[in-house]
Amino acid sequence: MTLRQAERRRFRFTGAANQRSVRFSQELQVVCRFDGGVVVRHQVQIQIFRARRKRFPVSVRSVLIGGARWVSAVSCPVAGARSRLCGLFLSRAHGWCVPCWAGCSGRRQAVVTRRRVPGGCHRYRQIVRCWKAFTRRCAEGSSMEQADVLIIGAGASGGVAAGALAQAGFDVLCLEQGQWPDRADYPAQRRTYELEARKQWSGSPNVRGRAADYPVNDVESDVAPLMYAGVGGSMVLYAGDWPRLLPSDFRVRSLDGVADDWPLRYGDLQPFYERTDAAFGVSGAGGDPAYPDGAEPPLPPLPIGAIGARMARAHDRLGWHWWPAAQAVLSAPHQGRRPCVQFGACMQGCPEGAKASTDLTHWPSAVAGGVRLLTGARVSRILMSGNGLATGAEFVRPDGSWHVARAEVVILAANAVGTPRILLNSSSPRYPDGLANSSGLVGRRLMVHPFANVTGYFDEDLTSWRGHVGAKIACYEFYETDTDRGFVRGAKWSLAPTGGPLDAALPSRAGNEVWGPDHHEHIRKHLGRTISWGIFGEDLPDEANRVTTDSALTDSSGIPAPKLNYTVNENSRRLLDFHVARATESLQAAGAYETAAESLMRYSGWHLLGTTRMGTDPATSVVDEYGRSHDVPNLYVMDGSVFVTSGGVNPTSTITALALRAVEHLIEHRREQRVPA
Ligand SMILES: Cc1cc2nc3c(=O)[nH]c(=O)nc-3n(C[C@H](O)[C@H](O)[C@H](O)COP(=O)(O)OP(=O)(O)OC[C@H]3O[C@@H](n4cnc5c(N)ncnc54)[C@H](O)[C@@H]3O)c2cc1C
Ligand code: SF4
């Protein structure tokens, strides 16, 4: 059902019988209260008639949304059914208004125009006050639709942006398609947790298939995308591995002659990295020789466990780098959150609340600070004014009702698949290739970090099912380019636990499953006795790797789903082969009697990056270094879409640092911000 059909069904027009003559016909904003309690403002063409009955000074005969459709009138949320007309008003630029006449304690009962009220400005101020009271009251019983800033997506970047804007006193509305996660519902405490991880709690929206998820057509993609819909976003399921990009990652064109340099450097981001580390509660050890000097992580490192100690000794013998990995997981109590108990179920939601995600670290204070977070609100498209500015977004609720949220600034934080999907779905006759897409790069240059896994088998029980999942230790030995290897750039290695009994029986990474008489022997060999290096390879951008929309596949609201075309390139394949061979050596040096490798894991699309890249040139980038669209000056992208290159490390530390930098720039330059009239 379209928005217009939904409205037509919901409103009953009651004013026609009272009309006598047309007073004026103008473009107005009309405020409507839906049956479900949601208030919506529309830009409409409206005809105001002088009413016959004195009690109703005006009535609405026709409301032409988009200049074409007839929609019946509105009922006042404050005065209820008593008034059919409320909150009709024009912008200040028009100089006159039709106020909510019965809505605000019945005080505003006149049609106010500049012609009829000589003190028009004074009257206007009264009306503005009246309007504010009206919207406040609406907010008490329903969601609000008007804000200074609209954020789309309540995940990692959305949470950071909302927190900063709330602190700066902005009126913020966030629309999130999912719901608040319920920690009591996380499967870690149930015996079936490993089974549920493969279905209801899978990282793949296609496997989970919840109504809040949108499906992704990944038939033509070498890698399946993984994400989560809800407050906290994909952080609800992420592993909490929290490395930063390295300085060379920002300069691959200058250093290696490939891809592009970023318009900023490591040093520009370092202060923001340090602040997001503090906000998320990062555990780690300062002094990692792979990184420039800087502040110590706020919390001491997590235990590296028997597997970490074993591999660290082996790397010391080899003379290879290793370091306790920085993790967004608490090693000690922090800001009211409990520390990690090394349960090992991080990727199905942390029941302790030790793993940082914005539903724990940012949203509670943002909401307490006045941010309105509307869950179950899926955005279909961005709305635009005639002068090329974003005016808000259209969204749909789980009951199928369609609404509009208006704002002066719109921030997309829906991740590198969700954001291009919204921009491409916002196409119109004026923007036939989608919004903010004059460069043609919206959706292109998708990067996902090709992932390989090497597992070593050991005689001793190393309790390798235990511990935080992100990384015990990390290795950057082969991160930088060495042209003798036959490829450019490199990869970071993360040493992670290898899973519980079910993962031993049905390997989730390298290894085979074994049934029949050898099954118990197989479990004995795997459970607790394996060590696994996860290898995150740098993914060079390629315009052919892209997100488009698939009109044949829709989500539960009927909105076209995203489609991925992604092929792992030759450089990445060589890179993975090289790193698999080195990781095998590493495990053998640690005493593994056997190893197994999976060189490109399909279900490894955790890191979604690059689909609205930043840059200085509008012809070759979608947003500037602060996430502002080159084409639409009040539209921002603050999620992982803005990455220029992928680096070879987990990206969320960088995504959140970039979001903080971008939103603080927006706040600082708010007076120069162009907004719709
Ligand atoms: C299983 C898994 C493990 C991972 N492990 C790690 C790790 O160890 N380290 C690391 O750095 N990263 C990891 N990641 C990646 C990390 O979670 C993401 O990089 C990060 O969450 C991305 O932040 P974001 O703000 O770009 O998007 P997200 O956090 O994905 O948030 C986007 C939000 O937008 C909402 N949204 C999308 N479309 C719409 C719409 N149309 N209307 C309304 N709302 C919408 C979504 O519901 C979602 O809540 C992992 C991810 C997964 C899935
Ligand atoms: S290992 Fe730690 S971070 Fe992971 S689920 Fe358990 S308590 Fe949470």
Distance 507 CA to ligand 2 centre (A): 21
Count of residues making up the chain: 677
Instruction: Give the number of whichever ligand sits closest to the CA of residue 352.
Output: 2
Atom of ligand 2 nearest to the CA of 341: 7
Average pLDDT on 340-364 reads 96
Is residue 248 within 6 Å of ligand 1 at its C-beta?
no
Q: Decide whether any atom of ligand 1 lies within 6 Å of the 314 Cβ.
A: no
- Among all bound ligands, the one having the nearest atom to the CA of 330 is 2
Question: Lowest-pLDDT range, 114-123, 159-168, 243-252, 471-480?
Answer: 114-123
Do 291 and 410 fall within a single domain? yes
Residue whose CA is closest, atom 27 of ligand 1? 415
Residue 105: is it exposed, middle or buried by C-beta count within 10 angstroms (0-12/13-18/19+)? exposed
- 547 and 583 belong to one structural domain: yes
What is the reported pLDDT for 88?
A: 35
Q: How far is the CA of 517 from the centre of ligand 2 (A)?
A: 34
- How many angstroms separate the alpha carbon of residue 342 from the centre of ligand 2? 5
Q: Flag whether pLDDT at 37 surpasses 70.
A: no
Convert the pLDDT of each residue in 478-511 to its tens digit. Answer: 999 999 999 999 999 999 999 999 888 887 777 7
Question: Of 84, 111, 142, which residue is a domain's last?
Answer: 142
DSSP letter for each residue of 117-163? -SSHHHHHHHHHHHHHHHHHHHHHHS---EEEEEEE--SHHHHHHHH
Exposure of 644 by Cβ count < 10 A (0-12 exposed, 13-18 middle, 19+ buried)? buried
Domain hosting 493: range is: 149-497+529-672
- pLDDT band for position 137 (50/70/90)? very low
- Residue scoring higher pLDDT (526 or 1): 526
The rounded distance, in Å, linking the Cα atoms of 353 and 19 is 60
pLDDT, residue 677, reads 75
Ligand nearest to the CA of 235: 1
Ligand 1 atom with least separation from CA of 240: 8
CA–CA separation, 40 and 463 (whole Å): 56
* Domain identity same for 592 and 460: yes
Are 200 and 281 members of one domain?
Answer: yes
**DSSP for 489-504, written as a single string:** S-EEEEEE----HHHH
Best probe residue, ligand 2, of 341, 359, 465, 466 (max atoms within 8 Å of C-beta): 341
Q: Is residue 384 part of a domain?
A: yes
Whether residue 479 sits in one domain with residue 334: yes
What's 230's DSSP letter? B
* Pocket flag, ligand 1, residue 77 (CB < 6 Å): no
Residue 354 Cα, ligand 2 centroid: separation in angstroms? 6
519: pLDDT strictly greater than 50: yes
Same domain, 119 and 180: no
Looking at residue 461, its pLDDT comes to 96
- The fraction of the chain above a pLDDT of 90, given in percent, is 74
- Which atom of ligand 1 is least distant from the CA of 212? 47
Ordered DSSP codes for 617-662: -TTT-SB-TTSBBSSSTTEEE-SGGG-SS-TTS--HHHHHHHHHHH
Sequence-ordered list of residues with C-beta below 8 angstroms from that of 404, at least 6 positions apart, any chain: 3, 40, 41, 42, 145, 383, 392, 393, 394, 395
Instruction: Compute the distance between CA of residue 376 and CA of residue 7 in angstroms, rounded to an integer.
Output: 19
Ligand 2 mean position to 389 CA, how many Å?
Answer: 44
171, amino acid identity: D
pLDDT band at 198 (very low <50, low <70, confident <90, very high): very high
Identify the CATH number of the domain in which residue 348 sits: 3.50.50.60
CA-nearest residue, atom 50 of ligand 1: 238
Is 590 a domain residue? yes
Cα 415 to ligand 1 centre (Å): 6
Do 548 and 648 have their domain in common? Answer: yes
Q: What mean pLDDT value characterizes the chain?
A: 83
- Does the Cβ of 151 fall within 6 Å of ligand 1? no
> What separation in Å is there between the alpha carbon of 237 and the centre of ligand 1?
9
Q: How far is the CA of 238 from the centre of ligand 2 (A)?
A: 11
The atom number, within ligand 2, closest to the CA of 343 reads 6
For residue 231, the CA-to-ligand 1 centroid distance in Å is: 10
Closest-lying ligand 1 atom to the alpha carbon of residue 414:
34
Ligand nearest to the CA of 213: 1
What DSSP element (H or E) covers 63? strand 58-65
Does 635 map to a domain?
A: yes
Of the three residues 104, 121, 142, the one that is the final residue of a domain is 142
Is the CB of 155 within 6 Å of ligand 1? yes
Spacing, Cα 341 to ligand 2 middle (Å): 6
Q: Whose CA is nearest to atom 6 of ligand 2?
A: 343
- Note the ligand closest to the C-alpha atom of 229: 1
| Same domain as 137, residue 157 | no
Domain boundary among 142, 163, 182: 142
Residue 57 — very low, low, confident or very high, per pLDDT cuts 50/70/90?
very low
70 compared with 3, residue with greater pLDDT: 3
Q: Are residues 487 and 533 in the same domain?
A: yes
111 and 161 inside one domain: no
Beta carbon of 378 within 6 Å of any ligand 1 atom: yes
Domain presence at residue 206: yes
Mean pLDDT, rounded, for 449-459: 96
* Confidence at residue 42, expressed as pLDDT on a 0 to 100 scale: 43
Question: Do both 135 and 157 map to the same domain?
Answer: no
Q: Tens of pLDDT along 101-127?
A: 223 332 232 222 223 333 334 444 444
Of 537 and 85, the one with more pLDDT: 537
- pLDDT surpassing 50 at residue 244: yes
Shortest-distance atom of ligand 2 to CA 468:
1
User: Which of 68-72, 505-509, 530-534 is modeled with the greatest confidence?
Assistant: 530-534
Q: Is the pTM above the cut of 0.85? A: no
- Nearest C-alpha to atom 47 of ligand 1 is from which residue? 229
Tokens of 526: 């795997």
Residue carrying structure tokens 């302790």? 352
Of 233, 238, 236, which is closest to residue 154 (Cα–Cα)?
233
Reported for 208-211, long-range contacts at CB under 8 A and 24+ positions apart, including other chains, are 211/398, 211/556
Burial state string for 35-71 with b = 16 or more CB within 10 A and e = fewer than 16 = eeebbbbbbbbbbbbbbeeeebbbbbbbbebeeebeb
**Could you tell me if residue 522 is inside a domain?**
no
Identify which of 202, 234, 383, 656 to mutate to test ligand 1's pocket (most ligand atoms within 8 A of the CB).
Answer: 234
Q: 343 C-alpha vs ligand 2 centroid, how far in Å?
A: 5
Looking at ligand 1, which atom is closest to the CA of residue 203? 1
Q: Which of 255, 273, 264, 326 is nearest to 540 (CA)?
A: 255
Rounded CA separation 350/610 (Å): 28
Q: 197 CA distance to ligand 2 centroid (A)?
A: 15
**pLDDT score for 294:** 94
Best residue among 355, 466, 469, 472 to mutate for probing ligand 2's pocket (most ligand atoms within 8 Å of CB) is 355
Region 148-164: what's the mean pLDDT? 98
**Spacing, Cα 328 to ligand 2 middle (Å):** 11
Residue 100: band (very low, low, confident or very high) from pLDDT cuts 50, 70, 90 = very low
Which residue's CA is minimally distant from atom 7 of ligand 2? 340
- Which atom of ligand 2 is nearest to 355's Cα? 3
Does residue 580 form part of some domain? Answer: yes
Q: Is the CB of 660 under 6 A from ligand 1?
A: no
**Ligand 2 environment, Cβ below 6 A:** 188, 329, 340-346, 350, 352, 354-355, 468-469
617 bridge partner residues: none
**Cα gap 609→252, rounded to integer Å:** 16
Q: Are residues 115 and 169 in the same domain?
A: no
Distance 187 CA to ligand 2 centre (A): 12
Q: How far, in Å, CA of 27 to CA of 431, rounded? A: 23
CA–centroid distance, 177 to ligand 1, in Å, is 12
Q: Is 521 part of any domain?
A: no
Residue 572: in which H helix or E strand, if any?
Answer: helix 570-589
The total domain count for the chain is 2
Q: Is residue 516 part of a domain?
A: no
